[in-house]
Amino acid sequence: MPELHYANYSTLSFDCYGTLIDWENGLLGYLRPLLETRDAHVIDEWLLEFHAEAEPRLQAQGGSYRDVLGGVVAALGTRLGFVPSDDDMEGLARSIEYWQPFSDTTAALGSLAKHFDLVALSNIDDDLFAHSARAMGDPFARVITAQQVGAYKPDPRMFKALRKQVQGPILHVAQSRFHDILPAAAAGLDTVWIDRPSLGATRVVEAKPTWTFPSLQDFAAAWQ
């Protein structure tokens, strides 16, 4: 594996949810109680795998990320035999305000920001991302969202937007091989896969990242 040298990149771009923000616990923290009130009982792995299949299908139809998350709740209702209210469907997006960074996120980003411009590339709406940015200490020089681009990763338009807006060599960092590592590599970017433990909130695909680390802390400590 080649070494990471500060001089080789000017910008680090990051996926947010699953990489920097603990979205699996965020999703479960909203969906578990909702399903319990509907007397619908499923294991966490099933619930996250259902999300992994439903979310990209809904994103392909377009619309805001609020609408996508509402559609996930509606699809769960159809599958499990209950009719969610409008408030139920809107609540998953509202819950993002309370989703927390991983324990190593804020310190690692603070360390990396001393050497690089940090850019967020996220499948979300601007106002929803603002909650997460504040939770991480607002470390980003630039934020590029699906709302701005009109597409969701793994759509190559997201990575075209990144390359158009950011000058100089970019290293893309992400946990999802489906949303990020595979399409970023196809766009000609070097990539870092953060191999965080997962219960299955994203589709699993084969991809060959340039580097792999088990945590953001390990990635931040690897530079020379």
Which residues are part of the catalytic machinery?
A: 15
User: Quick one: which of 53, 74, 68 has its CA closest to 200?
Assistant: 53
Backbone angles phi, psi at 114, to 5 degrees: -70, -20
Four-CA torsion 138, 142, 147, 153, nearest 10 degrees:
-100
Tokens 């299949």 appear where?
53
Tokens 């699993």 appear where?
204
Whole-number Å distance between alpha carbons of 180 and 76: 25
User: Quick one: which of 129, 73, 54 has its CA closest to 96?
Assistant: 129
175 DSSP β-pair partners: none
Tell me the CB-side half-sphere exposure of residue 30, using CA atoms within 13 A: 25
Backbone angles phi, psi at 217, to 5 degrees: -60, -45
DSSP letter at 98? G
